[in-house]
């Protein structure tokens, strides 16, 4: 083939940086926004595409959501700290785990605020700067206000307008959007607009395949 495109969607690039930098150089590489910091050659941003067809109906009372695929993954997102702080706000909290994708989405769609991640148990080992994962991208399409750890500039694409925070600022940022509904709604609208454009399957496919 004249061109080989490689998509790196998750964590191995971080954990085996030297290996992947060696075997992938020379290819046209796309990697998630939170992992391109580990590339020692030019890479392009990759956001997972979604075609979510689900009715969005929010809980009556303000609800903060957080999810992990399985409960054993809590330490990879800082879940314990997220849940402790969220419950202290007095809002309802929905901790979503051990569900199939569709049932996870239905629960997430009922939340008003969604926290992707604020920590990682061994990020310091690799110098990881955080980012936004698949769960947070889904939540933007489901009209949730999304918070996550990190802050970065876009490269070829504009950076998603996440409510960025870290473990130390999480409580402050969360409280701000709980008590400032106008700003929360504006941020939700900006996130949804970004997600509809840049997480669109056609947009993502055409970009990787270099179709105008």
SS (H, E, C) 45-82: EECCCCCCCCCCCCCCCCEEEEECCCHHHHHHCCHHHH
In this predicted structure, what is the pLDDT of residue 177? Answer: 98
Q: How confident is the model at residue 9 (pLDDT cuts 50, 70, 90)?
A: confident
| pLDDT over 80 at 124, yes or no | no
Coil/strand/helix, residue 115: strand
Least Cα distance to 45 among 29, 28, 33, 35 occurs for 33
| pLDDT over 80 at 121, yes or no | no
Q: What is the pLDDT of residues 125-142, one digit of tens each?
A: 877 788 898 999 999 999
Q: Are 161 and 191 in contact (CB under 8 A)?
A: yes
Q: How confident is the model at residue 198 (pLDDT cuts 50, 70, 90)?
A: very high
| pLDDT over 90 at 196, yes or no | yes
Q: How confident is the model at residue 14 (pLDDT cuts 50, 70, 90)?
A: confident
Q: Are 81 and 118 in contact (CB under 8 A)?
A: yes
List the alpha helices (DSSP H) in the chain. 12-15, 17-24, 79-88, 101-108, 123-126, 134-141, 170-179, 181-198, 201-209
Higher pLDDT, 127 or 50: 50
d(CA 29, CA 32): 10
């Amino acid at each position: 083939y004249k061109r080989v495109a490689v998509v790196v969607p998750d964590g191995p690039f971080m954990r085996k940086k030297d290996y992947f930098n060696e075997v992938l150089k020379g290819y046209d590489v796309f990697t998630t926004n939170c992992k391109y910091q580990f590339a020692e050659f030019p890479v392009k941003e990759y956001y997972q595409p979604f075609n979510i067809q689900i009715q969005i109906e929010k809980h009556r009372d303000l609800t903060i959501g957080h999810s992990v695929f399985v409960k054993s993954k809590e330490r990879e997102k800082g879940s314990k700290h997220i849940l402790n702080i969220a419950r202290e706000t007095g809002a309802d909290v929905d901790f979503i785990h051990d569900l199939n994708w569709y049932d996870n989405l239905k629960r997430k769609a009922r939340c008003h605020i969604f926290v992707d991640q604020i920590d990682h148990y061994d990020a310091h080992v690799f110098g990881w700067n955080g980012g936004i994962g698949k769960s947070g991208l889904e939540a933007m399409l489901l009209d949730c206000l999304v918070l996550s750890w990190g802050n970065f500039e876009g490269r070829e694409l504009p950076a998603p307008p996440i409510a960025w925070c870290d473990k130390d600022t999480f409580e402050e940022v969360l409280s701000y959007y709980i008590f400032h509904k106008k700003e929360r709604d504006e941020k939700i609208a900006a996130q949804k607009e970004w997600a509809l454009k840049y997480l669109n399957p056609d947009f993502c496919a055409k970009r990787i395949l270099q179709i105008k």
